[in-house]
Structure 1
C-alpha cells in the first residue's frame, strides 16, 4: 500500500506512542493537532486494508488522523462539569468504534461518520456520570437533556426585554421548547428543575461549627426501623431453629440426603456427597436421589411456612 509522504509520520510500529497520555492534557491536545490529516484516497485505502486484511496499523492511522475531531467535539460538553480528559477519552472510544464499522465504499468521509459515534459515546458517559440520580431515561428525555441549555440561552438572546439575572423559563419559552423537541411541556419543566437543582453533600464539608448539619445527620437509620428488625429476627430464626424443625419432619433417608447436599461443608470448603455418591450408597439411581431431594425440600418449605405464620 503506497501512501503519500504526508502520512509518513503516522507510519510507526506503535502509532499511539506518538500521542502522550491524558495525564498532560495540554500536551495531548497540542500533539493531536499536529498530526497530519489524510486525503480521501489515503483514507479509503487504509479503510479497505482494515476491512479486507484486519490491518491494525491501518486502523491506528485512521484513528490518529481524527483525534483532533474528538478534542473539538468534546469541548462542546464542558458545561456539564465533567473533566475534559474524561470526555476526550470517551470520545476516543466512539472514534475507534466508528473506524471499526466504517465502510469506505459508501462514499462518505470518515469524519462525517465518526462524528455521530463520538457524540453518542460522550452522551452516554455524561448521562451515567453527571449526577448520581439519572436525569434522562427515555430517548425524548435525552434529547431534551442535551438541548435544554442551548435552547434556553437562545430563547433568552432573542427576547428584547430579557432579564439577564432570570434563570427560570417563561410559559411561552416552555411551550416553544416543548413544541420544537416534540415533548410535553410538563417534561420540559421537570427537566429544568432537575438541571437547576444542585447536588447536596451527604456529609458536612468541615467540622468547624457544631451547628453545621448535613443530611447524613438526620437521615433515619434503616437498621433500627421496626419492620427491618422483625425481618432480621425472622431470618435468624429460619436459619437456625426453623431449619432444625423442618428437618425433623423428614424421614431419616430424606434428612441425610438434604444434609449431605445442602448443609454439609467439609474442611476443604467443599460440599457433601454428590447424587451419584448417595445413589451408590442406597443402591438406587441418581435420578431417584434427586426426586427424594426435591420432595424433601418441598416438605421443608411447607413446614417453614407454617411455622413462621
Structure 2
C-alpha cells in the first residue's frame, strides 16, 4: 500500500494525507487531525468491507483519516529518542496505512486495537535505523530490550546493579544482556576525521581505519591464508600415498627456499624415470588441489 496508494505521504505534504494545501507545521497538522470526527463501529465496518471487497481507496482514506490522531498520540510517546516528532508521525502513518490495508472487519476487533501494533512497529523500525549510525538492536529480543530499557532508565546515569537485576528479571533476560544493551545505548557516534589539523589528527579513527593492515578484507584474506597453510596443507598431504607425499614435500616443501629436489634426484631415489616422477607429482598436486578447495 505504501507504493501503490494515493495516501502515501509525498514531499512537503508528508503529514497531510489528503488535507487540501500545506498545513505548514506540525502544530497545525495535529490540530487538524484532532478535529476529524471518529467513526462509529458500523461506519468503520462498512468502510472496511468496501475496501476489502471492492478495493475502494476512498473508503481506505476515510479509515486512515479518522485514526490519524491515534498515530499522533503513539508517536508522542517516542519523543525521548531525540528524533523529530513529525518524522515519528509520518512513519506511524505508514504503519496505519499498512494496518488499514490488512484489516478484516469480520474478526471482531476494532481498527484502533489492530492498528496500534502496526503503528508501533513502523516507529520502532524508524528509531532503530536512525538513532545511531550503527544499529544497536537487530534481533527481536534485542529490540524488546532496547525499548524497555529506554523507558525504564530513570536518568542518563548508568543503572545500578539492583536496577539491572530487576529489569533482567522483569523482561526474563540475562543481566549480561541488559548491561550490554545499556553500554551500546550509552555510546555515541564519533567523527572519522579529527576536528583540527594539529598532532591529534593521527589519532583520529580515519588514520587507522584506512590502514591496509586493519582493512577487513585484508584481515580475512590473511586469516584464510594462514588456515590454508596450516590445516589445509596438512589435510591435503594426508590424502596422498607415502611416495606421492615424499615427492611433493621434496619438490615443493623443502625448508630452504630454492633447495627442492630435482626430478632426476627423485628418479634415482625411487628407481624410476624422471618422467614417471613428473607424472606422480602432477597427479598428487591435482589431488591436493581438490582437498584444499574446502579451505578456500
One of 191, 196, 208 as aligned partner of 1:219 = 208
| Number of equivalenced pairs | 206
Q: Distance in 1 between matches of 2:214 and 2:89?
A: 46
Provide structure 2 residue ranges, at least 5 long, that are not aligned to the other structure. Answer: 1-15, 222-288, 290-296
- Determine which of 168, 171, 185 is the counterpart of 1:181: 171
Residue 175 of structure 1: how far off its partner (Å): 1.1
TM-aligned CA deviation for residue 203 of structure 1: 2.9
The two structures have a TM-score, normalised by structure 2, of 0.62
Match of 1:170 among 112, 137, 160: 160
The 3-state SS of whatever aligns with 2:37 is coil
Structure 2 counterpart of 1:140: 141
> Given that residues 22 and 85 in structure 1 are in contact (C-alpha distance below 8 angstroms), is that contact kept between their aligned partners in structure 2?
no
Using CA pairs under 8 Å that are at least 6 residues apart, name the structure with larger relative contact order, 1 or 2: 2
Aligned to 1:45: 46
* CA distances 1:17-59 after superposition (whole Å, capped 9, x unpaired): 3266586222222211111111111111111111111111000
Cα drift, residue 101 of structure 1: 0.9
Measure the CA separation in 1 of the matches of 2:46 and 2:193.
57
Residue 191 of structure 1: which of 163, 173, 181 is its match?
Answer: 181
Q: Distance in 1 between matches of 2:73 and 2:97?
A: 16
Superposition deviation, residue 176 in structure 1: 1.0
Structure 1 residues 58 and 195, CA gap change in structure 2 (3 angstroms): same
Gap change, CA 1:183 and 1:19, over 3 Å in 2: farther
Q: Could you say what the CA RMSD is over the residues aligned between the two structures, in angstroms?
A: 2.9
Q: Which residue of 1 aligns with 2:192?
A: 202
Q: What does 1:16-165 correspond to in 2, within 5 Å?
A: 16-18=17-19, 24-153=25-154
Could you tell me how far apart the structure 1 residues matched to 2:151 and 2:35 are? 31
Give the unaligned 5+ runs of structure 1. 1-14, 154-163, 232-301, 303-309
Q: Which moved more, 1:135-144 or 1:26-35?
A: 26-35
Shift of 1:105: 1.4
CA contact (8 A) 1:128 1:134 kept: yes
Judging changes above 3 Å, is the alpha-carbon distance between structure 1 residues 178 and 31 closer, same or farther for their aligned structure 2 residues? same
- How many Å separate the matches in 1 of 2:151 and 2:125? 19
Cα displacement string for residues 197-240 of structure 1 (whole angstroms, at most 9, x for unaligned residues): 222122345x5x74664724533423587995xx9xxxxxxxxx
| Native 8 Å contact 2:51 2:59 kept in 1 | yes
The alignment's TM-score, normalised by the length of structure 1, stands at 0.60
